[in-house]
Amino acid sequence: MFERPASGERAVLVQLDLGQGAVDERLSELQLLATSAGATVEAVVRGRRAAPDSALFAGRGKVEEIAETLRVHDADLVIFNHALSPAQQRNLERALECRVIDRTALILDIFALRARSHEGKLQVELAQLQHLATRLVRGWTHLERQKGGIGLRGPGETQLETDRRLLGQRVKMLKTRLAQLGRQRQTRRRQRERRDVLSVSLVGYTNAGKSTLFNTLTKAGAYAADQLFATLDTTSRKLFVGGGNVVLSDTVGFIRDLPHALVAAFEATLEETASADVLLHVVDSASEDRDAQIEAVNQVLAEIGAGDVPQILVWNKIDLTRAAPAVERDDYGRIRRVFLSARTGEGLGLLRDALAEAAHDHASSASPGPEAGVTHAGAEAPAQAASSATSPDTASIQK
């Protein structure tokens, strides 16, 4: 549905080890991002530096290696798995004589490819324009070389300033329109609160299986695929469980180093997550990097003001790990984890029971304190998640 033509751009990926750890996982994620954007990965250039080079990020020797790789593989695009400054990007393009994009631009491109709703498209455009604003000079670099002459005098700076003004006007219009949509969303949210319906949001790392779980629970038919950021637009459905009705919302997946421009642009959508009564934090239990993914999601949740919303960890894809469906509770009897497979339906009844328990506690509680049946995000710290790999209940999840 969202695939680009098979003759996509031929890309060379660049991954430098700057001491941030999990380099192999980061590179694997970059390859998925590149293919999700429609690129064909021709080669990977790796390296190690103590700190980025101020001018070229990778250093002159590594840039020469990248240039040689481009020539050997006849590639036309270089993708850095890092955030490049406008000057670094401009210098790299001059040195390599091809287009260079960073991780932020790549994610923005995928978001533009996936957005379907009117609000989603507005949010992506706003994020793209805000990212472009710092790189606007790139579109007019040919004017920098103009030293005058017949037909060449004048408009360089004027054209650039005109472009900046038009961009600023468009950004202002987008923010106004998104604010209007945000107020409409708040009205719908207040109506649900008056009906005292439990609000549940699905959150998790991208490609963890949130949309598949959403479709399995609600029969909604939301788009789900084995690709990064398959879901951008929030979809909500009413779901009946033993404790009453709940409103379940499928939201955009998170990723490590999520660009701040995207978080800001998707503020209205992410408010749905921050205002939820319970978060179903879906985890790809088959991923060796799952503990870092849990930490990355919790960091984004804290950034958008949802760090204190109670969570139920949903350890998905047990069909790949051969783990048994189960429910794990903490020392206070609160539900901590549910082990299931959204694809096969194993353990789905356990999750419904957990939601029914949360809905019952929500309906019977007169105070806005923590729900009795779930655990706060802070209670499930990354260290706990990591230590759980050796516990009897989760030992079978290891590959």
249 labeled binding residue: no
**Where does residue 157 rank: exposed (0-12), middle (13-18), buried (19+ CB within 10 A)?**
exposed
Residue 341, annotated as binding a ligand: yes
206 is in an annotated binding site: yes
At 238, is the secondary structure helix, strand, or coil?
strand
318 is in an annotated binding site: yes
274 is in an annotated binding site: no
Question: How many Cα atoms are found within 13 Å in the side-chain-facing hemisphere of 184?
Answer: 8
Residue 207 annotated as binding site = yes
391 is in an annotated binding site: no
* Residue 186 one-letter amino acid: Q
- One-letter identity of residue 78: V
Is residue 14 within 8 Å of 84, Cβ to Cβ? no
What is the distance, to the nearest Å, from the Cα of residue 179 to the centroid of all Cα atoms in its chain? 22
DSSP type of residue 7: S
230 is in an annotated binding site: yes
Residue 251 counted as an annotated binding residue: yes
Cβ–Cβ under 8 Å, residues 285 and 397: yes
Q: Does 316 belong to an annotated binding site?
A: yes
Q: Is 232 annotated as a binding residue?
A: yes
Is 76 one of the annotated binding-site residues?
Answer: no
Residue 127 annotated as binding site: no
The contacts of residue 183 (CB under 8 Å, 6+ apart) are: none
Q: Taking phi first (over 0 means left), then psi (-120 to 50 degrees means alpha), and beta for anything else, what does residue 175 get?
A: alpha
252 is in an annotated binding site: yes
Answer yes or no: is 305 a known binding residue. no
Q: Is 17 marked as binding a ligand?
A: no
Contact 98, 77 (CB under 8 A): yes
Q: Write out the binding residues.
A: 204-211, 229-233, 250-253, 316-319, 341-343
Annotation: binding site for GTP: 204-211, 229-233, 250-253, 316-319, 341-343
User: Which residues participate in the annotated binding site for Mg(2+)?
Assistant: 211, 231
